[in-house]
Amino acid sequence: MATIIAGMFDTITKAEAAVHDLREGHCRQEDISTFHNNPPGQHDTFPVGGDEDADPGAKDAHAGAAAGAAIGAGLGLAAIAAGPLAVAAAVGVGAYTGALGGALSGSGDSGNLPARRPAGVMVAVNATGVPEQSIAQILRQRGASVVEKADGEWRDGQWADFDPLAVPRLMPDESAGAR
């Protein structure tokens, strides 16, 4: 296993500048890899496309839909005084509206989702024999929005087992306290 330090850049120009500085900082060319990371959901890891079977933010939508439908139907039944035809219409409209509202309120809660790598240009460095903090510092100085540390397989100048879906282990900015 190799220790890999990687930075995410929003432009290729910033990434190339980081690579230049890393080379000047005594990193070998075969220990630096640059590649693009697609946005979450667009890594095509499934045969039909996408990254996962279902959107993690929608896992509770069915419960919200059921609760909303029950509330909506109950409100529709409360309209019984308006007559049988009005009751049937009110129950249907109330159940549909409640189900829709409940489903939407039960989806999209990103507060419990793991952090994901943003889209951008990755510069990964095999940190074997090079101080990790100096690599991280160069990446940050050149504009990396995220700097992470990983244990992985480095083969033929590439991070061979890079997993775009893995939650990155962020490196703390040790120079931030010195400012």
pLDDT at 113: 43
Rounded to 10 deg, the angle between the 132-141 and 12-24 helix axes is: 140
> What are 158's strand-pairing partners?
155
The pTM is what?
Answer: 0.62
Return the amino acid letter for 155: R
Residue ranges with strand state E in 71-172: 120-126, 146-152, 154-155, 158-159
pLDDT band at 112 (very low <50, low <70, confident <90, very high): very low
pLDDT at position 86 over 70: no
Could you count the other beta carbons within 10 Å of the beta carbon of residue 26? 11
Bigger pLDDT: 51 vs 154: 154
Tell me the mean pLDDT in the region 147-158: 96
Q: Are 72 and 89 in contact (CB under 8 A)?
A: no
Amino acid at 13: T
Between 89 and 54, residue with greater pLDDT:
89
pLDDT for 82 equals 62
Q: Which amino acid is at 62?
A: H
Please say if the pLDDT value at position 97 is more than 80: no
C-beta of residue 167 within 8 angstroms of C-beta of residue 114: yes
